[in-house]
Structure 1
Amino acid sequence: MKKLALLSVSDKTGIVDFAKQLEARDYEVVSTGGTLKALVDGGVKAISVEKITNFDEMLDGRVKTLHPRIHAGILARRDNETHMQQIADQGINPIDLVCVNLYPFKETIEKPSVTDEEAIENIDIGGPSMLRAAAKNSQDVIVITDVNDYAEFIKRYDADQLDADYHRHLAAKVFRHTAAYDALIAQYLTKEEFPEKLTLTYEKVQDMRYGENSHQKAAYYSEPIPEKYSLANAKQLHGKELSYNNVRDADAALRIIAEFPEQPAVVALKHMNPCGIGTADDLLSAWNLAYESDPISIFGGIIALNREVDLATAEKMHAIFLEIVIAPSFTDEAYDVLAKKKNIRLLTVPFGPIDAKGKDEVSVLGGMLVQDRDLLHETAANFKVVSKVQPTAEQLKALAFGQNAVKHVKSNAIVVTTANQTLGVGAGQPNRIDSTKIAIEKAETKPNYDQAILASDAFFPMDDCVEFAAKHGIKAIVEPGGSIKDQDSIAKADELGVALVFSGARHFKH
C-alpha cells in the first residue's frame, strides 16, 4: 500500500515540485482547496481530502480537515495494535506525512487598513490542528511546516536517514511555529496592558559570534512585526555583522536621539551611556558639539544622527575610529567617504517617534519584568523653582536639555550640560556625589563651562551634591525632588546662590 501524504499550504512556494518528489517515492498525495488546484494544474495526481472524509467542506472552508478520518489517520500509533485495528475497522488509512503551513495572519495584520473581521478570518484552525496532531505522533508521522525543509526531507529519505532525532526535530519546529502563530494572535486580540499570561514571540535575525563576552553564546531575535523606528527595521549599508554589544548600544543610541527631533542632533554613545550629545542648526555643528563633549570616549563609539549625513560631517567622522553610524540616510558622497573604512557599520533607520504602546522587557533569573517605556519628555513648563534665585531663560532651556539627556544615563546619573551640548557625564556610581564629581571633573575644562547647568536623574538624598556643584561654578541645577531632605538641598542652594529646580519626575535607568 502506498504511503499517504497530506499537503495543505497557504504558501505554495515549491509545493508542486515537492509533491512530484513524493509521488516519485511512492507517496499518494491528498490535498485541499487551492493547494489541490495548484497540484493538479502542475501535473500531480493528487486526490481531494473529501474523498478521504466522504464529507464536503463547509462554512466557507472553515471546516474541511477537522474530521475523524483525517485526525485518526494522523494520530494512530503504529506500534499500538488497538489503534491500528480501530482505524482498520473504520476503513481509515494512516497518514504518513503532513505538510501544512498556515493562513497568513501576520501578513494580514500588517496591512494598514486591516479590519478585525479580516484578521479573524485569517486565523487558521484546521492547519494548526493537523500540525499539532502530526507533531504529537512524530515517531510515526513526518510533519513539515517550513518550505525550506522540503529539500532536506527528500535528501534524508533517499539516504535512509529519517531517524528518531530528525522526527523529533521536525515536531519541535512545528510546536514552535504554532506557539508563535498563537502568540501573535493573542497579542493582536489582547487589550489588557498587563494580561495574566504574557505571550511573546520573536523571530531569529542572526546567530552571533558570541554574546556580551567571547565565552557567551548569543543570537539576535526581532518581533514578528518590528516597530518602524527600531534597529530591527534598520538597513545595513556597509560593514561586518553587528555584534551583541553593537545591537544593545545602537538601540540605546536610537532611544536617546529620539529625544531631540526639533533640530539636527548627534549622539555619541559608549557602553550604553551617552558620552556626547549636541544639537545645532546644522548637522556638522551638532557633530562638533557631540565630539567636543568627550573626544576621548567617543573613540570606538556608536554615533546616531537624526538628519541625512552630508559630506562635511562624514569627513569629520571618518577622521576617527567609530564602530557604527546610524542615520536616516547618507548622501552618496558621505557614504563613499565613510565606506572607505572596512570595519565601520553604516545603518539607516526610518526615523520617527518611539511607539508609546510598546513595553520594555527585562529578563531576570526565573522571570521577566515588563514596564511602560520612559517616554516622558521634560519641558521647562513642568518645572518648579524652589530656590530664591530664579533661573534665566537660557538656563531653563539647558535644564530641560539636561533632564532629557540624563534619563538615558545609567543610575546614579548626573549630567552637566549647556542648552545644546553635554559637557560631562557621571554614570552608574553607587552614590550620587561620586557621579556628580565625575561629571563636573569632565565638564569644568570645557570653554563654555560658565554656561553649564547640572541635571540629576533622581533626588539628592543630602545637600552634598548641591554644595559640590556650587563650589565648582554651577549656577543652576535640576532634580526631581522628593527626598525627605529636600529642604537641606534648597537651603544649600539659597546659601550658595544657585537656582534649584524640581522637575517632579524621576528617571532611574538600571
Structure 2
Amino acid sequence: MPCERGRTVNKVSKVDDRVPIRRVLISLSDKSAIEMLVSALCEIEGLHMYSTGGTFQRIADLLGPRADGVLKQVSEYTGQPEMQGGLVKTLDFKIYVGLLSEPYNQVHVADRQRLGADLIDMVVVNLYPFESVSARSGADAEDARSNIDIGGPCLLRAAAKSYLRVAAVCDPSDYRGIVEELSAHSGTLGIDTRFRLAQKVFEHTARYDHAIAAYLTEKTLSAAIAPYAIARDD
C-alpha cells in the first residue's frame, strides 16, 4: 500500500464481477416504489435489511411477521440511538467499515471481525427534498437549512466509491431494473450495473450540492438569519 502525500493509499487488485446482495441499508425520503423493491429483496435467501425512522416503519408494515430476522433498525445494529430530530442516524464507524472495506483485504476482514461489522452490499437512499422545499412559496432560510441532507450524501458517496463491491441506488426509477437483474441472476448484481449506479450517484450528489451552494450564495446575511432570534453579547 503506497503512500501519497503522507497517507497510506489502499490499492485494490481483485474484485468480483457479480456480487451477492445479502445486506442492504435503506433510508428514504421518497418512498415511492418501495413495495416492489422490498418484495424482491425478500425473495433472496439470507437477506438482511437495515433501516431508519419512517423507512423502517414502512418496511415493517409491508413485511408484517416476515420482518422478524430480516429487518433491523440501524440504531440496533450500531448500538447508537438516533439523535433527536433524526439529525444523526447513519453516520457511524461500523456502517462505513461495512461500506468501504474490501473482502479480499485481510486487514479489513480483521477490522470487521473486531467491530462485528457486516459487509453492506447495497445502499438505497434518496435525499431530503432541499430544492422543492427551498423553492416553496413562503419557505424561509430555516425551512431550507433543515432540509440539507448530511447522512444521505455520505452513504451514497461511500457506496458509490465502493462500486467494485457495493450497489449505490439513489433513484426509484432504477428499482425495476435492479429487481429484474436480481431475479435473473440468483440475487446478484454485476459490476456493470454497480458502475452505472455509481456514475448516477455522483452526478446526483453534485447537483444537490450545487443547488445548496446556489441558494446560499443568493442569500444576504440578513435573509439567512431572519428566522432566528440572535443572542448577542452586550
TM-score range (shorter-chain normalised) is 0.7 to 0.9
Give the equivalent residue in structure 1 for 2:196: 169
* Matched residue type, 1:170: L
| C-alpha deviation, 1:16, in angstroms | 2.7
Highest relative contact order (Cα 8 Å, sep 6+), 1 or 2?
2
| C-alpha deviation, 1:133, in angstroms | 0.3
Q: What are the Cα deviations for residues 195-246 of structure 1, in whole angstroms up to 9, with x where unaligned?
A: xxxxxxxxxxxxxxxxxxxxxxxxxxxxxxxxxxxxxxxxxxxxxxxxxxxx
| C-alpha deviation, 1:158, in angstroms | 2.3
Give the equivalent residue in structure 2 for 1:99: 124
* Matched residue type, 1:108: V
Q: Is the 8 A contact 2:21 2:189 kept in 1?
A: no
* Matched residue type, 1:69: K
Give the equivalent residue in structure 1 for 2:63: 43
Q: What are the Cα deviations for residues 428-462 of structure 1, in whole angstroms up to 9, with x where unaligned?
A: xxxxxxxxxxxxxxxxxxxxxxxxxxxxxxxxxxx
Q: Is the 8 A contact 1:8 1:31 kept in 2?
A: yes
- Once the two structures are superposed, the pairs formed by residues 8-23 of structure 1 within 5 Å of their partners are 8-23=27-42
1:81 matched to 2:100 = no
Give the equivalent residue in structure 1 for 2:147: 122
- SS of 1:162's equivalent in the other structure is strand
* Matched residue type, 1:94: L
Aligned equivalents of 1:22, 1:164: Cα separation in 2: 19
Aligned equivalents of 1:72, 1:148: Cα separation in 2: 28
| C-alpha deviation, 1:25, in angstroms | 1.2
Give the equivalent residue in structure 2 for 1:3: 22
Aligned equivalents of 1:158, 1:100: Cα separation in 2: 21
Q: What are the Cα deviations for residues 136-181 of structure 1, in whole angstroms up to 9, with x where unaligned?
A: 0111111111101111011112223732222111101000000000
| C-alpha deviation, 1:74, in angstroms | 0.9
> Which 5+ residue runs of structure 1 have no aligned equivalent?
193-510
- SS of 1:43's equivalent in the other structure is helix
- Alignment TM-score, normalising by the size of structure 1: 0.37
* Matched residue type, 2:136: K
- Once the two structures are superposed, the pairs formed by residues 419-434 of structure 1 within 5 Å of their partners are none
Give the equivalent residue in structure 2 for 1:358: none
- SS of 2:87's equivalent in the other structure is coil
* Matched residue type, 2:198: A
In percent, how many aligned pairs have the same letter?
Answer: 39
More helix by share: 2
Q: Is the 8 A contact 1:5 1:28 kept in 2?
A: yes
Aligned equivalents of 1:49, 1:24: Cα separation in 2: 21
- SS of 1:94's equivalent in the other structure is coil
Q: Is the 8 A contact 2:22 2:44 kept in 1?
A: no
| C-alpha deviation, 1:90, in angstroms | 1.2
Q: Is the 8 A contact 2:21 2:122 kept in 1?
A: no
Give the equivalent residue in structure 2 for 1:354: none
More strand by share: 1
- Alignment TM-score, normalising by the size of structure 2: 0.78
Aligned equivalents of 2:21, 2:190: Cα separation in 1: 20
- Once the two structures are superposed, the pairs formed by residues 79-228 of structure 1 within 5 Å of their partners are 79-160=104-185, 162-191=189-218
- SS of 1:5's equivalent in the other structure is strand
Q: Is the 8 A contact 1:105 1:122 kept in 2?
A: yes
* 1:34 paired residue among 36, 44, 54: 54
Aligned equivalents of 1:184, 1:191: Cα separation in 2: 11
| C-alpha deviation, 1:21, in angstroms | 1.0
Aligned equivalents of 1:7, 1:95: Cα separation in 2: 11
Aligned equivalents of 1:29, 1:111: Cα separation in 2: 34
Q: Is the 8 A contact 2:101 2:119 kept in 1?
A: yes
- Once the two structures are superposed, the pairs formed by residues 354-365 of structure 1 within 5 Å of their partners are none
Q: Is the 8 A contact 1:69 1:92 kept in 2?
A: yes
Aligned equivalents of 1:183, 1:150: Cα separation in 2: 26
Q: Is the 8 A contact 2:21 2:121 kept in 1?
A: no
Aligned equivalents of 1:2, 1:164: Cα separation in 2: 12
* Matched residue type, 2:216: L
Q: Is the 8 A contact 1:100 1:127 kept in 2?
A: yes
Which 4+ runs in 1 deviate beyond 6 A? none
Aligned equivalents of 1:167, 1:43: Cα separation in 2: 27
Aligned equivalents of 1:2, 1:176: Cα separation in 2: 24
- SS of 1:114's equivalent in the other structure is coil
Q: Is the 8 A contact 2:26 2:125 kept in 1?
A: yes
Q: Is the 8 A contact 1:16 1:38 kept in 2?
A: no
